Every structure is written in structure tokens, then in C-alpha cells.
Homo-oligomer: A and B are copies of this chain.
Amino acid sequence: MSIHYSSNFFQAKRKYLSVTWEDFYTTRISDKLDFFFRQGRLFDVLFSQQFDREFIERIFTITNKIRLVSKTKYGADFLRSLLAHKRAMLYFVQPSTRTFLSFHSACQILGMQTAAVQSIHTSSEVKGESFDDTIRTFSSYFDIIIMRHPLEGHAERASFVLNRTKRPIPIINAGSGKDQHPTQALLDIFTLMRSFQPIGGIDEKTIMMVGDLKRGRTVRSLSYLLKNFRNVKIIYSSPDEFRMNSDIKDFLAEHNISYTETSEFEKILPQADAVYMTRIQDEHDQAGESKKTDFSRYALRLEHLDLLKSNSIIMHPLPRRTEIDPQIDNDPRAVYWRQERNGMRIRCALLAHIFNLETKILEY
């Protein structure tokens, strides 16, 4: 699969105007990417599959530049002028303070004004409005929709609806269903790139992912994006009941990405260049399965720090529970709070990309 930065949108539009949603939705992602691009840039950000290495490095450059520019009041004023004429709808049907505030801050850094709908109950859906009409309404008032939805495919559905009208606006998927959360994947990759910059980048590194791998969206997306780097080794460390699903493992095998699975934790730590800790996703429990498993073995404690390489890093998508002892926060290898701030800046970069401001920012 390769991504063409060409402008085949109108061709795609013509094709999909007469297609039902069901047919569109079941089309392979790689076959419909043109529908979400415009003139060599992402228009809708829906899937991790939209990011190739070229794109990742492009965003990496912009993110770093934004970080530097924002340090002075003068620079912050410049950034805030860029999208002051645009307004964003943050449509978060599924609550998520962290992702919400990260996007909200990103909008504010670029000067964009925002409005938010954070619950389905305040919306017109109560009066029987369809999801499609709600999205069209947002497109009447706003210049972009950033949405999070508990149901899979809803961000894509929003794009499908708007891209067939005369006035489409971009959609950013801020998490929909239990599968896709593309900006989280992007910020994880960014953090790896930036942390490993002094030691040759992500290529050749060993990434250990720990915890509830079966239901963790972030470890799935991260695994996927690692295909863009050379000779990466993945070690999955989890209780047997929460091992990574086979779809991802098939994907890795197909792309010749080396991975191993283990229920060990401590023993493996010395091998890792990055330890990516995750929490138990017990909100997805069907019958209390989380409680039957002893997760306490998959937690990083102070005494583990001695086992870790001196130039390794510890990541976590947050929020955490007991997976990492807070006393570890002060260790220079703990990068999860930086990872969180990276999320805000990478979302700025993504907005800048969508609204074609990259050159303006780089030339500052």
C-alpha cells in the first residue's frame, strides 16, 4: 500500500456519490484514501493508515518548529494569528478530558475559536435528528470538526456525508470506537522519534509494549505505524489472556516486522529501548475478566529503574493507574509527561497541515 499525494478527490467523489454507506465502509481503507486527501494534503484525518514515513517526518518537522516558535510571546502571537479566522467544533460524544483539552489547546495555540458539544444529550439528536444532519449542521457553522465517538466508523461516516456535499469541511478523528485513534498513534511515534533522535532514530530499536495489549487501542496503532521504520523489534509483554490480537500479528508478519510475545516483564526490561506501559482497559470488560487476572506483575516500580538501559525511555498514553510508580516521574527516562505535551503540539501541526500553513510556519 502506498499513499499518493495527488489530487484524485474529484474522481473519488464522482465514484462514491452513488455508493451506499455500507459499500463504502467495507471498501478496503487503502482503496479509498483519495477521498480524504486534497491537493497533496490530508483533508480528513481518520486512520493511522493515512500516515506514511514521508508524512510522519513532515509533521515531525512542523511540530518541532511550532514548539520553538511558541516559546516567545512574539512567536505565540504569530501562531495565534494563523487560524484566527477559523472556528472548530469539538464534538466529543464520548468523554475524554485529556484528548479534548489537547485538541482544544492546539486550536487555541493557532488562534482558532472553538465550540464544544460534549454530550449526546444536549444535542438535537434528542429531537430525533440523524447523525448525518447533526454533522451537516456543524458544517454550516464551523470550519473543521474534531470528533470522538464511541461507535466505530462514525468519524469516517461524517467524512462520507460531507465529502459528497458542496461544502465539505475537514474531519479529524479523535478516537472512534475501540479501533482508531490516529492522532494518539502519531504522538507516540513523534515521542519515539524525538527521544531517539540523538541515537539514530527509531530504526533498529527494540520497543516493548506492556499490559492489556488485547484491548489497548494505542499499542495496536503504534505497532501498525512501526512498519514505517527499519529493523524495529517489538516485544509484547502481557498476561496470556490479554495478548495482542492476531490481526496485528498477521500484519507484522506480512511486513516482516520482528515481534515476540511473552508473559515475562521484569526479565525483558534490560532489552528494551522503549518501554510502552498501558493500563487495563476494564471499561471493555464483558464479564469482569480484568479482575481475574493479576496485572500487578506488569507495573513499573522504582527498583526496575536499575534494570533499564541508561538511554531507554518509558512511555505511557495516560491516564495511568498503578502501572508506573509516580516516584519514577522524576527519572530522566520517564517521558510520558513530555509525550502528553507532544500530543498538543502534534495536533497543532496537524491543523497547520490541513489548513496549508506549513510553509508559513517553516518560513517564520
Task: Show the binding face of A for B, using Cβ within 8 Å.
Answer: 73, 76-77, 80, 84-85, 87, 89, 95-98, 101-102, 104-105, 108, 113, 115, 117-118, 121-124, 126-130, 132-134, 136-138, 140-142, 165, 279, 283, 318-321, 326, 329, 337, 340-341, 344
Contact between chains at B101 and A283 (CB < 8 Å): no
8 Å CB contact of A319 from B77, B113, B127: B127
Q: How far is the CB of A56 from chain B (nearest CB, A)?
A: 22
Contact between chains at A320 and B129 (CB < 8 Å): yes
Which of A105, A118, A142 has the most chain B CB atoms inside 10 A of its CB? A105
A-side interface mostly: helix
Contact between chains at B137 and A98 (CB < 8 Å): yes
Cα A167 to Cα B99 in complex, Å, equals 21
The residue of chain B having its C-beta at the shortest distance from the C-beta of A75 within the complex is B85
Known: A80-B84, A105-B87, A132-B326. A124 touches B141 (CB 8 A): no
Q: How far is the CB of A119 from chain B (nearest CB, A)?
A: 8
The residue of chain B having its C-beta at the shortest distance from the C-beta of A108 within the complex is B113
8 Å CB contact of A97 from B73, B124, B130, B341: B124
Contact between chains at A341 and B129 (CB < 8 Å): no
Cα A97 to Cα B136 in complex, Å, equals 13
Q: How far is the CB of A326 from chain B (nearest CB, A)?
A: 7
Known: A87-B105, A102-B141, A127-B319. A122 touches B117 (CB 8 A): no
Q: Which residues of B contact A113 (CB under 8 A)?
A: 108
Q: How far is the CB of A158 from chain B (nearest CB, A)?
A: 15
Q: Which residues of B contact A84 (CB under 8 A)?
A: 76-77, 80
Cα A133 to Cα B326 in complex, Å, equals 9
Contact between chains at A129 and B319 (CB < 8 Å): yes
The residue of chain B having its C-beta at the shortest distance from the C-beta of A326 within the complex is B132
Q: Which residues of B contact A320 (CB under 8 A)?
A: 129, 133
18 contacts between A and B (CB under 8 A): A77-B85, A80-B84, A87-B105, A95-B122, A97-B117, A98-B124, A101-B117, A101-B137, A102-B141, A104-B115, A118-B122, A127-B279, A133-B326, A137-B318, A140-B340, A140-B341, A140-B344, A141-B344
Q: Which residues of B contact A340 (CB under 8 A)?
A: 137, 140
Which of A102, A127, A320 has the most chain B CB atoms inside 10 A of its CB? A127
Cα A326 to Cα B20 in complex, Å, equals 13
In order of increasing CB-CB distance, the 4 nearest A-B pairs are: A129-B319, A76-B85, A124-B319, A105-B141
Q: How far is the CB of A203 from chain B (nearest CB, A)?
A: 29
Q: Which residues of B contact A138 (CB under 8 A)?
A: 101
Q: Which residues of B contact A341 (CB under 8 A)?
A: 140-141
Q: Which residues of B contact A130 (CB under 8 A)?
A: 326
Cα A355 to Cα B24 in complex, Å, equals 49
Q: Which residues of B contact A326 (CB under 8 A)?
A: 130, 132-133
Known: A87-B105, A97-B122, A141-B101. A133 touches B319 (CB 8 A): yes
Cα A142 to Cα B102 in complex, Å, equals 10
8 Å CB contact of A142 from B77, B105, B124, B165: B105
Q: Which residues of B contact A101 (CB under 8 A)?
A: 89, 115, 117, 137-138, 141
Cα A319 to Cα B118 in complex, Å, equals 19
Q: Which residues of B contact A124 (CB under 8 A)?
A: 96-98, 318-319
